Chains A and B, each alone.
Chain A
């Protein structure tokens, strides 16, 4: 097993509030799916966004695929995020007025032509059973359909690490199970990993590793 993502002694606090993460260290190996759990407010989502390079840690470093990002600049972290990180959010976060294909295109690297990913996109839409929705506006999709589109958007560029923040929180059991299966399948591919933030112990039990965060300001 290779540690695709390594969190090394990371501390983080929002301005004017107490420290949310304090000296957190963890590793997330490839070919596995990992969950981060803990009580509300313990910093699960914050850790996920620190790993996803959307938050700069006050201390410590994040390593993704061997590339270390400490307090690097916004451009450096955005480039790393584009190349290696895919996000799946709880509420899919699609643009309602855009079509499914347009929403997926928004997740592709800006420096590349959208057409380059057409084949991969169509194959994924087909596999997730939403190929017939390609030209439909996101506002016309059900919650489950929208989350599947969000999955395609996150996975189509083949990121090293797929991050999911309560991805089944708004879904019924059947759709939730389907989405989880896709996330688990993706994370268990060689050279990839999936980290899911969840309250759901069943998801934690099904994952390969569990990182439990306790009260705010404590170590993992």
Chain B
């Protein structure tokens, strides 16, 4: 019963001093909202950067022969197969030397697209069929762009000319995410093949993690070293090497110090409000002491009042910040543990900031305040 009555006294007092209560709640709301938004935004930026850095563009390594004039200029098929088998490699595709495919229907040498024999060395093939059937050896599939350019009326049952040879087209494909060669394949004609011993002009390696890039690049360089440095070019995104530091930095930059500053300032303001509250209700507290309140009850009442106001304020601030974040960021970001923890922390800090004011009120001399001069 005592606790219930103390809660009633605390709530009643909070309602009577509405301006102070609203100020304390506002400080808690701003602090909680600010910190929740700050952290949430930081996490969002880190996640976004991680997603960006985790894309095949960043995880891809392109190995290109510097010339395709002779068979000796190409990347040896066995060496590329060894590279494709390296630990950390998720997918590997080898493309033959570039040929030109022309339309067998429109005999116009100006209308050409690239033609490759593509070998899947590791992982998924470098295409996805969207129409037609899987090609058999010697047959080809075309991208939509290539089919349009070659004016193939029925690309799933047409013909193209490659080096004076007629090649049947049996399907339409779309290139999945293959990093640097995605655009190239999306405008080409492809004859898939499992084994291709003639050597490759181009090989694309997709590693599992951005951090695998440098390891695989070093190993690739060692494997190709026997052919001389001028024989090939290895291209990769240098951001991959420092991906963890980049993500960590994006998430942390200034957030920690700003959050600590917000917490410290809010604690100071809450403490000042608690002092003001205790000072303004000196006679009220003295009266309660005369009516039977112990010091602990006076202190408890002020702590309950401060705690309730801070909790309501922090809850409102954290909720508003969470809603704002959910509206401005990706919808799948629904982790509520951070706003809950921040709201609880702000409420606790506000409660701690109330202690000096509460102690001041509890230890004031009621007789000195109440007695008639």
Contact = CB atoms under 8 A, between A and B. Distances in A.
B1 A87 contact: no
Interface string B156-176: 000000000000000000000
B290 A46 contact: no
A74 B294 contact: yes
A66 interface: no
A113 B1 contact: yes
A109 B2 CA distance: 9
Contact of B371 (A49, A95, A169): A49
Given A98-B12, A110-B1, A87 B371 contact: no
B287 A78 contact: no
Given A87-B290, A109-B292, A55 B2 contact: no
Interface stretch (B80-88, B231-239, B362-370): B362-370
A74 B16 contact: no
Contact of B370 (A79, A93, A111, A169): A93
A45 B371 contact: yes
Nearest to A159: B292
Given A78-B292, A109-B292, A166-B372, A97 B16 contact: yes
B367 A81 contact: no
A65 interface: no
B292 A55 contact: no
Interface in B319-373: 365-368, 370-373
B291 interface: yes
Contact of B368 (A14, A81, A112, A153): A14
B366 to A, nearest CB: 6
A46 B370 CA distance: 10
A111 B297 CA distance: 12
Nearest to A97: B16
A31 interface: no
Contact of B293 (A40, A78, A87, A102): A78
Contact of A78 (B6, B294, B367, B371): B294
B289 interface: yes
Contacts of A112: 1
Which of B1, B2, B290 is most buried by chain A, counting CB atoms within 10 A of its CB? B290
A54 B289 contact: yes
B284 A95 contact: yes
Given A93-B287, A95-B16, A110 B292 contact: yes
B1 A111 contact: yes
Contacts of A93: 283, 287, 370
A166 B371 CA distance: 10
Indicate the member of A78, A97, A113 with the most B CB atoms within 10 Å. Answer: A78
A90 B9 CA distance: 24
A116 to B, nearest CB: 10
Contacts of A107: 291-292
Contact of B295 (A74, A95, A109, A165): A74
Given A54-B366, A97-B16, A165 B372 contact: yes
A121 to B, nearest CB: 15
A90 B370 CA distance: 9
Interface in A20-55: 40, 45-46, 48-49, 52, 54-55
B292, B365, B373 interface centre (most CB from chain A within 10 Å): B292
B296 interface: yes
Contacts of A98: 12, 16
Contacts of B368: 14
Contact of B297 (A102, A110, A114): A110
A75 B296 contact: yes
A74 B365 CA distance: 12
Contacts of A95: 16, 284, 287
A110 B290 contact: no
Contacts of B293: 78, 110
Counting chain B CB atoms within 10 Å of each CB, the highest count among A110, A165, A166, A197 belongs to A110
Interface in A54-107: 54-55, 74-75, 78-79, 81-82, 87, 89-90, 93, 95, 97-98, 102, 106-107
14 contacts: A45-B372, A52-B290, A54-B367, A75-B294, A75-B296, A89-B287, A95-B284, A106-B291, A107-B291, A109-B292, A110-B5, A110-B292, A110-B297, A165-B371
| Nearest 9 CB-CB pairings of A with B | A82-B292, A49-B367, A45-B371, A78-B294, A110-B2, A110-B5, A87-B290, A54-B367, A97-B16
Given A78-B294, A87-B290, A106-B9, 12 more contacts: A54-B289, A55-B367, A78-B292, A82-B292, A87-B291, A89-B370, A95-B287, A98-B12, A107-B291, A110-B5, A111-B1, A165-B370
